[in-house]
Amino acid sequence: MNNSQFDIPILLITYNRLETAKKVFSSIKDIKPNKLYFVSDGPKDVSDKTKIDKLRKYIIANVSWDCQFKSILRDSNLGCKESVSNGINWFFKNEEMGIILEDDCLPSKSFFYFCEELLQRYKHDERVYSISGFNQQNEWNSDHYDYFFSRLGNCWGWASWRRCWIDYDVEIKDFELFNKLNGFENSLGKKLGKIKKDMIYKGVIGDTVDSWALQWGYLRHKNSGLTCIPSKSLIKNIGFGDDATHTFHPLNFEVENNEINIPTAVNTYVVPDFEYDELMFKKDSIVTRLKNKLFHFLS
């Protein structure tokens, strides 16, 4: 890691939370990317517009280094599903690979160089679909390897390639056929397959969740794509609160944006870690649930 400009394009996606966006933008500014894309969803009402205008002015005024800066500033609110998915479509139409950050995903400096390294390492490996900066366990087998592979993954700070995103379908029109062929169970196993099938069916087909990420997960599952996960989390979600879109309680408030050594050691075992994947949907202990309730009460 050095102080020269960063060569991998970055997409920053925001809505109306200035304080969290400032922190995420500061981490981006610190590495001075040569290319910065900015997507800002539009307001739902007048008070929303005031917040969004302040956020946009702050970001644009503080792009103070020499870079190619492109933006989409929406006049009206499209919501998470349409605004984010359309923004990523635009990003990968222009770039072969890149990093995507939303305004509540605070990265460590290592995150950017971790993504850069693995984007190049797995550029032509069609088994690998995504690079995540978030490790839900905070630290996982870090004495064995610097990163590992998952059938799942997380979009709180991530990177990918055009070759993967090009087949993204926000409506997942082939869901019924994939389900009929037992695609979820065949891809993820009986237990996780049912969990993911129910999540995607309820959220996307049932249209109960304003999400783009469930569809991205579906694309990976139907192509048996893998996600690279760092053995120490490089992302901290700072968006928990009443003004969040989805993260209303701190299920992962103990996960930090750690620093790691770059370059990483190559993990030659390109197979998913089933134990890690199972833990992603394991019910929290009573102690953790009490912590979450206390945190929400104090907030």
The three-state (H, E, C) secondary structure of the chain, written as one string: CCCCCECCCEEEEECCCHHHHHHHHHHHHHHCECEEEEEECCCCCHHHHHHHHHHHHHHHHCCCCCCEEEEEECCCCCHHHHHHHHHHHHHHHHCCEEEEEECCEEECHHHHHHHHHHHHHCCCCCCEEEEECCCCCCECCCCCCCEEEECCCCCCCEEEEHHHHCCCCCCCCCHHHHHHCCHHHHHHCHHHHHHHHHHHHHHHHCCCCCCCHHHHHHHHHHCCCEEEEECECCEEECCCCCCCCCCCCCCCCCCCCCCCCCCCCCCCCCCECHHHHHHCCCCCCHHHHHHHHHHHHHC
Q: What pLDDT, on the 0 to 100 scale, is given for residue 47?
A: 93
In-domain check, residue 125: yes
Q: What is the pLDDT of residues 75-115, one digit of tens each?
A: 999 999 999 999 999 999 999 999 999 999 999 999 999 99
Q: Are 52 and 96 in contact (CB under 8 A)?
A: no
* Cα→Cα distances 296→191, 260, 290, Å: 30, 31, 10
In-domain check, residue 2: no
Question: Which residue ranges of the chain lie beneath pLDDT 50?
Answer: 244, 246-250, 285-289
Kindly report the CATH number assigned to the domain that includes residue 200.
3.90.550.10
- Specify the number of domains making up the chain: 1
In-domain check, residue 251: yes
In-domain check, residue 144: yes
In-domain check, residue 109: yes
Q: What is the arrangement of strands in the sheet containing 68-73, beginning at the earlier edge strand?
A: 68-73, 35-40, 10-14, 97-102, 158-161, 128-132, 226-230, 147-150
Q: What is the pLDDT of residues 37-77, one digit of tens each?
A: 999 999 999 999 999 999 999 999 999 999 999 999 999 99
Whole domain around residue 141: which residue ranges? Answer: 10-298
In-domain check, residue 3: no
In-domain check, residue 256: yes
In-domain check, residue 4: no
pTM: 0.91
Q: What pLDDT, on the 0 to 100 scale, is given for residue 1?
A: 63
Q: What pLDDT, on the 0 to 100 scale, is given for residue 247?
A: 46
Question: Burial code of 211-234, b = ≥16 C-beta within 10 A, e = fewer?
Answer: bbbbbbbbbbbbeebbbbbbbbbb
- Tell me the sheet residues that pair with 149: 228, 272
| Other C-beta atoms lying within 10 Å of the C-beta of residue 248 | 14
